[in-house]
Amino acid sequence: MTRMVSARTFFARMNEGRSGWMTEGQLIKGCREFFVSNGYDQLEENKIFNRGERIFNSLLVGSKTAGDDNDKETIVAYFQPRMDRHDTRLLGHLESMLYDLLDNYENTNLMLVTDSLSYTPIVKVEELGVAIENLMDEGMFLLFLNERSGYALFDEFQKLTMPIPVPD
């Protein structure tokens, strides 16, 4: 059975008792667990993407075979432990990566991985929220993690404020 919980309550529970931000290493470990638990059985570390305008590296990439025609779905993770202010350089870098992936790699999406403590700034700091919303409108996923193996994945910005289904 599944019940709906407000996003604010969900993240309050995710962040309960936490005082510090996760490190990049903790995010990588949590993302690895997320990939495995969601069927992404092909994991690659330090994968270089060199098609497109920029060459960039992803510390962790997850792929799985999906659909009747056995298409490969791939998610390229970008790790940013702390998102609490508008960072034009970071957001421009994410935009370049996203477009290079969409234009040059079939069935491949970019996923921004951040600490669940970043939730409030993303939905409250207007400039940051608008920039993240624009990236998500173009196809970027957003994964929030906490240090207790909790996670929340979003594919649309509007879902960040909608009730979240939680199994009983």
Q: What are the residue boundaries of the structural domains of the chain, listed by start? A: 22-162
- State mean pLDDT over 17-22: 92
Backbone torsions φ then ψ of 138, nearest 5 degrees: -85, -10
CA dist., res. 140 & res. 137, Å (int):
7
Best CA proximity match to 108, nearest among 160, 44, 165: 44
Average pLDDT over residues 58-67: 92
Q: Are 166 and 12 in contact (CB under 8 A)?
A: no
List pLDDT tens digits, range 120-163: 999 999 999 999 999 999 999 999 999 888 899 999 999 999 99
> 79: helix, coil or strand?
strand
Q: What is the model's pTM?
A: 0.94
Percent with pLDDT over 70 in the chain: 99
89's tokens: 């350089």
**Residue 168 pLDDT > 80, yes or no?**
no
Per-residue pLDDT tens over the stretch 95-114 = 999 999 999 999 999 999 99
Q: Are 135 and 98 in contact (CB under 8 A)?
A: yes
**Mean of pLDDT values over 2-10:** 89
Write the CA distances from 141 to 20, 119, 160, integer angstroms: 24, 14, 12
Pick the CATH number of 22-162 from 3.40.1350, 2.60.40, 3.40.50, 1.20.144: 3.40.1350
For the stretch 26-46, pLDDT in tens is 999 999 999 999 999 999 999
Higher per-residue confidence, 66 vs 107:
107
Burial class (CB in 10 A: 0-12, 13-18, 19+), 167: exposed
pLDDT band at 84 (very low <50, low <70, confident <90, very high): very high
